[in-house]
Structure 1
């Protein structure tokens, strides 16, 4: 069984094909420079565990580790990193993003550019399939 820690933690999931569609729409001649948020769907850790478990075909659960504990652990591992005999992706910045990431308001790109964002489950399924290929 695999676990994903966090209480209010979440991932923003965006499909690279949707990011490409936004870029293509922004290249429309005569419209001038514009800015759009393209952050994707915010997936809370409990849903994320279910989705990843489903697409990876392995049991996966969320473990309600307090978000503050994750941020403190990231800070401590930043300090210990130079002395560890291995690379560690668990950082203070990473844990801050993971535990405090707000939702992304992508509605302007949807309404003004006609973008329809893919379902995050299909994005995760395609990602896992590509990694296994």
Structure 2
């Protein structure tokens, strides 16, 4: 449970593993009830459980214990389903910030770069699968007969 001020709590279901576009939904943690409502209305999901470490975790922890006069903190967590650097998560975060704050940001360069990298990853995966398939086929061939040796 993430406490969103004034004792209100929010729960979420896990994003389905079979979701067609893992980059469609960001996760968030916020101390600002209004921001939580806005993010939820936009279709994004609050973090239910987990650990946030490092500077982000320290800032978030401090914001939960700070006085109510301090500015609220919101952390946006872009998905990273491929576990390698990927601009699609950054693109989601930038688009979300653009939408929340009505910013005039041109994301065309980032979109082009994200697509290029995604295509390169797909091609690399296809090449690896082809190499594995070729090696399996070679390994499954019968050994040459040595009956005349």
Coarse TM-score class (shorter-chain normalised): under 0.3
TM-score, normalising length: structure 2: 0.20
Tell me which protein shows more helix as a share of its residues: 1
More contact order relative to length (CA 8 Å, sep ≥ 6): 1
